[in-house]
Structure 1
Amino acid sequence: MASRESQLTATLLTSILAAVFGSLQIGYHTGNVNAPARIIEEFFNVTWRSRHNQSMPDHSLTFLWSLSVSIKDFGALLGSLGVKCLADSYGRRNSILIVNALSVVGACLMFSSKASESFEVLIVGRLVFGLFCGLVMSLNPLYIQEVSPTNLRGAFATLNQVSFATGILLGMLAGLETVLGTEESWAMMLSLSLIPALLQYLSLPFCPESPRYLLINRGEESQAENALLRLRGRSDKVFTELEEMKEEAARTQTGVTIKEFFMKRSYRQPIIIVLIVNLGSQLSGFNAIINYSTKMFNQSRMDEAKYLTLGVGAVNVTFTLVAFFLMERAGRRKLLLTGFISLAACNLLMTITDSLLFMVPELCSLQVLVVFFLISAYELGPGPISWFIAAELFDQPSRPTAMAFTSMLNWGGKFLLALLFPPLLKVCGAYVYLLFMTVAIVAFTFTWLRLPETKGRTFDDIAAEFRGAEGIPLHNKTGFNTFT
């Protein structure tokens, strides 16, 4: 325990907290459109009526609202494409500062949509903000993992998800009718993400750049040493870590192209792992609950549906904190397995309760509990780990590309679910949750067979295992301690 405490410096904590202001903004704009959905839909309708002297058709309004919710995720998918270029050209810290400008522009557009009487401005604002989402949710874990000591790397990376979940809860709170989710104040509510954006600009410039980027990517050993000294506070820690980085630098090529990333044999296993874990995480039902929980509870004729949605946000934050404390104890693998099998069980229960709800209305309380358990299962492992596992499975030259790939999978999955869940729910009814259950079971099975434990291992150690494991099933490699 003493060795852990010795690595917790004020600079390290400040750097991580300054970075996660970005994910706080993303969470806020994920949670704040849920409760006031009807008010913003009415704004769409009023705007349409003022232009065309008639109400917007119901199917058009449904599509436009689905588009408004999902366009952020589509923007994030596009933004993911810029991760490698920014991270390698400007560094991890500077890239986070650069893309923060997109958040500011997006929030300003969303705020001005009401005054300009244009729902198109709101949609464009969410698209611009989405570009920020796709970039920062890859840049954050990249920066956090590269500045963190090995034995705290996973826990600190989980703070990105804690901040994201906290933002969702704050967004849900701000969206309540009793707070800012009113016809008069909803535009102001959409602008509040400017506060953490400003706080990031006031704090992150004073934090060090990633030492790994400075040494391995830029070859600036003295600057890397200075950055490490600020982060670790002890010269003996700096010397050991610097030597590890030099050894890694000697074994890695200077850069990896997109084509090389997908063609190199030693990257194939980690690419498949990242693909299954991320799609399994995003298509397992969590995003449907987060985006549409208020409507779901309303359809179940539950009183105070908006406050139940607030409960969803509170459970979300609670279990990201649980994951934070368990990450370096239980490890990534056990938390993922527990999360995926629990998600599968929750989706099966959602199917049963939703099917019987009209015959047995008393089941609505059980459905609320199942929703809470589903959120808990997601945040216990799949939620936080899916965002940072790629950074642990790949070496330094390929890490930005791997994180861009992660971001594309995550946001692509969110976009598809946000866009397709309402029509799927109409077509399949309660049985839509069986699709989520199937995805969770596939992800559980693959994780059980293929995912190595990365807890407490250096980046070079993990990369070396993959270099030596070309063509060899990873679960047979004793060095990975896969089943311990």
Structure 2
Amino acid sequence: MQINKTWVVIACISFNIGSISYAFVSNSMNNALKTLYIVFEISKDDQSFFAGALTSSAYIGAFFGAILTTFIKKYHTGILMADVCLFVGSSLLIFSDIYTFFIGRIIAGIGCGMCAVCQPVFIRQISPTSMYSSMGGLLSTVFSFGYFLTMLYGVWFPTTDDITSPDQLNQYFWRVYFFVGGIPSLIRIIVMKTIYNFQTPIFYIQNNQDDKALAVLKKIYQSSNYQELLENIREQSQTQNKQVELGETIRKYKKQFQFGLFLMFVFQFCGFNAVVQYSTQIFNDSKSQKTAQFLSFLISVLKWILYSFAGTITLKYYGRRKPLLAGLSLMFVANFGIFIFSYLKNDDLLIVFIFVFVFANFSSTGPIVPVYMPEFVPQQLISYCYYTFWGYSIIILLVFPVAMYFCVFNQANIWGCKTVSCFSRSSRYQVC
């Protein structure tokens, strides 16, 4: 049976366009911290609150996404709803009203949560098994490209060193900056409602719409017997989706579920939030604004390159476990280096180890975990794993600012200990 690879690749690229908005919205505040302080008088203490608004609402989005994927199984609809939230949320960020800005962050966060849950599963069910590693890697590549665009835009963000009031700001630049983040979502809405307006074959089969399932399968495969292919998918679907209690499902797939929870733990507690998300603040505190913008942009370039490399080459030739273990080991070293040189107040070496961490994270946990999850964890349990992902995010956003206030920001040994824990646990899993 031949696969229509050209159609699959173009379709998956189209389905991933909205990830640019997801990445842009998630990271857009980093470039605008000083501008937002002037426009809304958002202090450093309040910045974590606004960042937490997106993360907390993402938990709600993940919940709705889980309902769509676990019970209704309308992944296509979930992606469209996520895009609507991302576009509307980004549009609200252009107003110079702090309450509207806050609401925009909440709506965009809901879109992020839904996108994180629905998109990987949809790509998984559309992609043939032999192509999923590449298509899953494509998801990471497009997401990192969105992060790259965010930081590229930030390079030209006007300096605010000599500005003391909102009237002195370029009022158009920051508004356009936040609005641009929603445009890829709008594009995906148009594309998915016109060119790729269909659910997955499994959805159609489960709802006795064989004609629509065949129409999608004919786009993906070139076969002489589509009816046989349809029956094979129906049989697999019936086996995988028998109505059983959640407790029984967890007991049956205990190891896979534990591994999914572990992956979410690694993804959040390896130090990513502490180092990468706050890197802009570290750069601003130790360097000039222009230098800080350039360093943040350089991180985005590395992310794009490494996500693409790890997503398409490393995953294909080295599997999942080895790159994950290597990345965790290097992140432990980087976290320890960040702690040492922050304690010694050596800004130059501190930045060096930040980039070491960035290299380790962006070539291991970053691109691997989103691909690993749908491959190893049963579809019925993926959404519950993502609940813990956003739950961990909320915990970090609540605890980390307190640690920053009572301690020194760069007490990265906390995250180094988490990395050691992740590394020691990951060595137990013999999964390729």
1:415, 1:341 → 2: CA distance?
Answer: 25
1:237, 1:38 → 2: CA distance?
Answer: 61
1:160, 1:430 → 2: CA distance?
Answer: 32
Determine if contact 1:110/1:191 at 8 Å carries over to the other structure. Answer: yes
2:394 counterpart letter in structure 1 = F
Superposed CA offset, 1:191-231 (max 9, x none): 1123212210221232243223333x334444323312202
Any unmatched runs of 5+ in structure 1?
Answer: 46-59, 454-484
1:72 counterpart letter in structure 2 = L
1:448, 1:171 → 2: CA distance?
Answer: 35
The 5 A counterparts of 1:216-255 are: 217-232=206-221, 234-235=222-223, 242=230, 244-255=232-243
Any unmatched runs of 5+ in structure 2?
Answer: 161-168
Q: Name the SS of the counterpart of 2:43 in structure 1.
A: helix
Superposed CA offset, 1:84-127 (max 9, x none): 32234262222211332111221121122x1xxx2121111101
1:241, 1:286 → 2: CA distance?
Answer: 43
Equivalence for 1:307: 294
Structure 1 residue 160 displacement after superposition: 1.8
Q: Determine which of 273, 276, 280 is the counterpart of 1:294.
A: 280
Structure 1 residue 76 displacement after superposition: 0.6
Q: Determine which of 341, 349, 359 is the counterpart of 2:337.
A: 349
Equivalence for 2:259: 273
Q: Say whether residues 1:37 and 2:30 are aligned partners.
A: no
2:114 counterpart letter in structure 1 = L
Q: Structure 1 residues 100, 451: CA separation in 2 closer, same or farther (over 3 Å shift)?
A: farther
2:246, 2:354 → 1: CA distance?
Answer: 39
Determine if contact 1:78/1:131 at 8 Å carries over to the other structure. Answer: yes
Q: Say whether residues 1:381 and 2:370 are aligned partners.
A: no
Equivalence for 1:48: none
Equivalence for 1:282: 268
1:336 counterpart letter in structure 2 = L
TM score, norm. by length of structure 1: 0.79
Structure 1 residue 379 displacement after superposition: 2.0
Equivalence for 2:100: 121
Equivalence for 1:322: 309
Q: Say whether residues 1:84 and 2:70 are aligned partners.
A: no
Equivalence for 2:109: 130
Structure 1 residue 134 displacement after superposition: 0.5
Structure 1 residue 150 displacement after superposition: 1.4
Which range moved further: 301-310 or 270-279? Answer: 301-310
1:409, 1:267 → 2: CA distance?
Answer: 17
Equivalence for 2:165: none
Which consecutive segments of 4 or more residues in structure 1 shift more than 6 A? none
Q: Determine which of 56, 74, 80 is the counterpart of 1:97.
A: 80
Instruction: Give the total of aligned pairs.
Output: 418
2:215, 2:137 → 1: CA distance?
Answer: 26
Structure 1 residue 238 displacement after superposition: 5.8
Q: Name the SS of the counterpart of 2:214 in structure 1.
A: helix
1:100, 1:280 → 2: CA distance?
Answer: 27
Equivalence for 1:49: none
Q: Structure 1 residues 238, 426: CA separation in 2 closer, same or farther (over 3 Å shift)?
A: farther
Equivalence for 2:148: 169
2:353, 2:219 → 1: CA distance?
Answer: 46
1:8, 1:321 → 2: CA distance?
Answer: 23
The 5 A counterparts of 1:333-412 are: 333-357=321-345, 361=346, 364-395=347-378, 399=379, 401-412=380-391
Q: Structure 1 residues 337, 219: CA separation in 2 closer, same or farther (over 3 Å shift)?
A: farther
Q: Determine which of 199, 209, 214 is the counterpart of 1:209.
A: 199
2:225, 2:355 → 1: CA distance?
Answer: 42
Structure 1 residue 250 displacement after superposition: 4.2
Q: Name the SS of the counterpart of 1:291 in structure 2.
A: coil
1:245, 1:414 → 2: CA distance?
Answer: 37
Equivalence for 1:199: 187
Q: Structure 1 residues 209, 275: CA separation in 2 closer, same or farther (over 3 Å shift)?
A: same
Structure 1 residue 138 displacement after superposition: 1.2
- Give the share of equivalent positions with the same residue, in percent: 20
1:260, 1:127 → 2: CA distance?
Answer: 35
The 5 A counterparts of 1:405-420 are: 405-420=384-399
Q: Structure 1 residues 257, 173: CA separation in 2 closer, same or farther (over 3 Å shift)?
A: farther
1:340 counterpart letter in structure 2 = L
1:276 counterpart letter in structure 2 = F
Equivalence for 1:187: 175
Equivalence for 1:480: none
2:275, 2:229 → 1: CA distance?
Answer: 43
Determine if contact 1:281/1:440 at 8 Å carries over to the other structure. Answer: no
Q: Say whether residues 1:156 and 2:135 are aligned partners.
A: yes
Q: Determine which of 39, 47, 54 is the counterpart of 1:72.
A: 54
TM score, norm. by length of structure 2: 0.88
1:380 counterpart letter in structure 2 = S
1:268, 1:227 → 2: CA distance?
Answer: 33
1:299, 1:340 → 2: CA distance?
Answer: 27
Q: Name the SS of the counterpart of 2:276 in structure 1.
A: helix
1:296, 1:305 → 2: CA distance?
Answer: 8
Structure 1 residue 367 displacement after superposition: 2.6
2:335 counterpart letter in structure 1 = N
Equivalence for 1:145: 124
Which range moved further: 402-411 or 242-251? Answer: 242-251
Structure 1 residue 73 displacement after superposition: 0.9
2:241, 2:186 → 1: CA distance?
Answer: 38
1:344, 1:414 → 2: CA distance?
Answer: 20
Superposed CA offset, 1:432-472 (max 9, x none): 3112122222222222212522xxxxxxxxxxxxxxxxxxx
Superposed CA offset, 1:389-428 (max 9, x none): 3322244xxx1x4332233222233333344333323434
Determine if contact 2:307/2:367 at 8 Å carries over to the other structure. Answer: yes
1:225, 1:346 → 2: CA distance?
Answer: 51
